[in-house]
Amino acid sequence: MRIGILTFHQSVNNGAVMQAYSLSRKIKELYPTCEVEIVDYRMKKVQAGYSYTLRSYLGHAPLSKRIRKCLYLIRHPMFLWRMQHRTEVFRFCLNKLPLSPKCILSDIPSEVYAYINERYDILVVGSDAVWNYLSRGFGNAYLPSHAVTCKKMSYAASCYGMNFLNRPEQERKAIGDTLEDFSFIGVRDDATEDFVQWSGCHMIPVHTCDPTAFLDVNDLPIDEEKLYQKLKKKGFDFSKPTIGMMGTTCMLKMIRRMYGKQYQIAALYEYTPGADINLYDLEPYEWAYVFRYFKVTFTTYFHGTMLSLRNGIPVICIALETEFAKIHTPKTLDVLTRLGFEEWYFKTDYRTENIEAIKQQADKFLANNFRKQILAAIDKEAESYNAFQDALEELIRHI
């Protein structure tokens, strides 16, 4: 029995790699006699976006935009080098994923469909925002058509970021027809439950947690001593209480106004001028581990929220003002509400709005230990995997 997982494993994004790693490992642990692989499918148009040469960065944008980009590079001369370095780190770490023997690099779905039909008995689509097709185009492989003849399931799939309510009627019908062919539809959030129902699909979507909810952060493919030395080299002071952050310089300035130099601030994912330590170039597995060194994490990111909580560290989650969030529940608020931590979610302009409330909550986190409460909540959320497991077991038995 061979099970393939079709997801965004190749993204230069910590959370995307970690959800792929966690889901593939979970299925393999529960079904050790099955071959479990991540379909090494990469869209050319997506991969092109990870080329940080000067030519690709400036691209074919209008002259005014290219001028703005040039001015940005003058102010931040190391930007392209940092992005190239981070991309190389991600490419190297993909070797730790159980990838399929063949890599399919194509924007044509039929090419990966042929490989899936030839190789897999069951295809699992997800996790992550695999059903948001705005950047990849409608009719992409993550909504596999009837041309995929093996059994199909989704796990924690999401349409996050796409206002599907204004999509054309022919797309709605095509999506509904595609989803009808699935044996099980597991979705990550309420918005995607609405997406499935909007499509006209008669299958009932089931909530399944993001795979990072059940990730074992104490058993990651990292060298702990090597990571310790890497952090020290970057200036990490293990004797000083630390605030982690994943956000903009506006977020950093807000934290500085609140606490000055009382805490060291470690910026994850993106290089943030002014942070005490910048950890933009950690491997995803190291990134998933390093949250344990913080007292609290300030973040706008979904997987930053999840991995901080998975390490038992509380979060101040800052809302992003997007068009999607005006109509649908944001994914970070969705998961925090499920966990019972919705009061940890704030809207702010980083200067006046809710600043006092944010600081009061952060002060509580800094003064108290919330680890037991957090781990109990996220362990409970992880139990939603069981519905998928039952459906997968049924499929395996019949096949």
pLDDT in tens, the chain (399 residues): 999 999 999 888 999 999 999 999 999 999 999 999 999 999 988 887 777 787 777 777 787 888 788 888 888 888 887 888 888 888 888 889 999 999 999 999 999 999 999 999 999 999 999 999 998 999 899 999 999 999 999 999 999 999 999 999 999 999 999 999 999 999 999 999 999 999 999 999 999 999 999 999 999 999 999 999 999 999 999 999 999 999 999 999 999 999 999 999 999 988 999 999 999 999 999 999 999 999 999 999 999 999 999 999 999 999 988 888 888 899 999 999 999 999 999 999 999 999 999 999 999 999 999 999 999 999 999 999 999 999 999 999 988
- Which of 172, 190, 170 shows the shortest CA–CA distance to 180? 172
**CA atoms of 369 and 294, how far apart (whole Å):** 12
Q: Residue 312's pLDDT is what? A: 98
What is the Cα–Cα distance from 155 to 294, expressed in whole angstroms? 30
* DSSP at 320: P
pTM score, whole prediction: 0.94
CB 205 within 8 A of CB 196: yes
- Strand ranges in 43-178 using DSSP code E only, listed in sequence order: 99-105, 122-125, 151-157
Three-state DSSP at 123 gives strand
Q: Where are the beta strands (DSSP E) in 237-346?
A: 242-246, 264-268, 277-279, 296-299, 315-318, 345-346
The answer to whether 333 and 319 have CB atoms below 8 angstroms apart is yes
Give the per-residue pLDDT at 47: 81
Can you read off the two tokens belonging to residue 178?
A: 């595609």
DSSP 399: -
CA-based nearest residue to 41, from 136, 134, 121: 136
* Closest to 308 measured CA to CA, from 236, 371, 394, 367: 371
DSSP line for 1-70: -EEEEES-TTSS-HHHHHHHHHHHHHHHHH-TTSEEEEEEEE-HHHHHTT--SHHHHHTT--HHHHHHHH
Strand partners, 278: 267
DSSP H stretches of helix in 164-301:
169-180, 190-198, 224-233, 249-259, 284-290
What span, in angstroms and rounded, lies between the C-alpha atoms of 105 and 124?
19
Dihedral of alpha carbons 396, 152, 302, 348, sign? negative
The two structure tokens encoding residue 208: 């399944």
Say how far apart CA 114 and CA 380 lie, in whole Å: 39
Contacts of 268-275 with CB under 8 Å at 24 or more apart are 268/14, 268/244, 268/304, 269/14, 269/301, 269/304, 270/246, 271/78, 271/79, 271/82, 272/245, 272/247, 272/248, 273/249, 274/249, 275/245
**Separation in Å, CA 227 to CA 210, 221, 241, 309, 380:** 26, 11, 18, 20, 30
Say which residue the tokens 């809710």 belong to. Answer: 354
